[in-house]
Structures are given as structure tokens and as C-alpha cells.
Amino acid sequence: MAKQIAETAKKFLLLGQCVPTVKQNAAKIRVKRLELDENLLMYFRKDEFYYCHDPEKLCKTGDIVLIKALPQKLTKLITHEVKEVVHPFGDITDPVTGKKVAKERYRDDVEREAALYGKLKSTFDYTKAPPRGWQDGKKDFTSKPTYTKFHVFDENDPYAI
């Protein structure tokens, strides 16, 4: 019974986090699930990884994305497609209130508290922060093609894993 439910759940939309991958035009998504241990009657976390078709490069490493199963597999590994980026990495929005969140607190509350107690120079100002991706090609090389290094060469390639 539980296996049938798990199989039907894979056909619908899944929510997961994008992790680094070597495959081109594909994203590797980690979906967290809870699996019941029938001897202990406790749930334990189990991660499942899906390769998703992403030719437009919608998601970057760390983004929370919504994926959907493809009607037919594109390749042996690619079984899903990326529907949309729900939460970009580092820019979380509370779905109930629509407010921006910093760790476990709302950004508005942090700013109000800083104004109440006297704003320190060391607090981070989210309004002046540049958008994510502005260091692409300077310090952020996640958009560059990567590959696994199997041999040691004289040249040092910075994009090899």
C-alpha cells in the first residue's frame, strides 16, 4: 500500500533543492522525504535525487524548485522537468504573509528593532544589497561548465571538480 502511494506521488509535483551537477542542460534536485520504519514506528529522513530537464538554466545551486514528472523519459537519468523556481537561494519569502525572511525572523521586524535600539553600523542593509548573480564570472563560477577530473595534468583547470 505504501509503495503504491509513493509511486503515485512521484507523478505529481515535487518540491526540492537544486544541488551541483556535472550534467549539461539538466539540474540535479534533492527531494527530502520521510520514510516510516515499521519496527520503531518512527519516520526518518530519506533524500531522493532527480535529474530534471532545465535547458533555460532557470535554477542555480541552492534554489528551491518545483519539478514535474515528464510523460516520457528524455534519457535514462532525466525523468522530470523544472516547472518554476519557488524560492531563489538567499531570498526567502513567507508564503502566508508575503514578507521577506532573514533566518527565523521577518526583515521588517529586524529593521524595526534596530531602529528602536539605535541602528548599528554593522547591520546588513537588504535594500542596498545587489541582486543575486552579480558576481557571476568574478567570484561565482557556478554557471561555468564543470567536469570531473580523472587525470592529473600540468595545467590547472579551475572548473574541474
The reply to whether 97 and 79 lie within a common domain is: no
Q: What domain range includes position 67?
A: 2-89
**For strand 78-87 and strand 100-102, is the pairing parallel, antiparallel, or unpaired?**
unpaired
Bridge partners for 31 per DSSP: 48
pLDDT of residue 141: 66
Distance CA(145)–CA(23), nearest Å, equals 9
Q: Is residue 159 part of a domain?
A: no
The reply to whether 65 and 108 lie within a common domain is: no
The reply to whether 60 and 101 lie within a common domain is: no
Confidence band (pLDDT; 50, 70, 90) for 104?
Answer: confident
> What CATH number is attached to the domain comprising 39?
2.40.50.140
Name the average pLDDT for the chain: 82
Q: Count other Cβ atoms within 10 Å, centred on residue 48.
A: 14
**Concatenated DSSP letters for 49-102?**
EEEEE-TT----TT-EEEEEE-SS-SSSSEEEEEEEEEE-TT-EE-TTT--EEE
Does 1 have pLDDT greater than 60?
Answer: no
Domain count, the chain: 2
How large is the C-alpha radius of gyration of the chain?
Answer: 20
Residue % of the chain over a pLDDT of 90: 30
∠ Cα 123 140 159 (to 5°): 155
Classify 98 in phi/psi space as left (phi over 0), alpha (psi -120 to 50) or beta: left
Confidence band (pLDDT; 50, 70, 90) for 147?
Answer: low
Distance CA(93)–CA(108), nearest Å, equals 12
Contact 100, 107 (CB under 8 A): yes
Q: Stretch 23-49: mean pLDDT, rounded?
A: 92
The reply to whether 120 and 61 lie within a common domain is: no
- Is the pTM higher than 0.85? The answer reads no
Does 142 have pLDDT greater than 90?
Answer: no
Distance CA(40)–CA(37), nearest Å, equals 6
pLDDT of residue 154: 66
Does 121 have pLDDT greater than 60?
Answer: yes
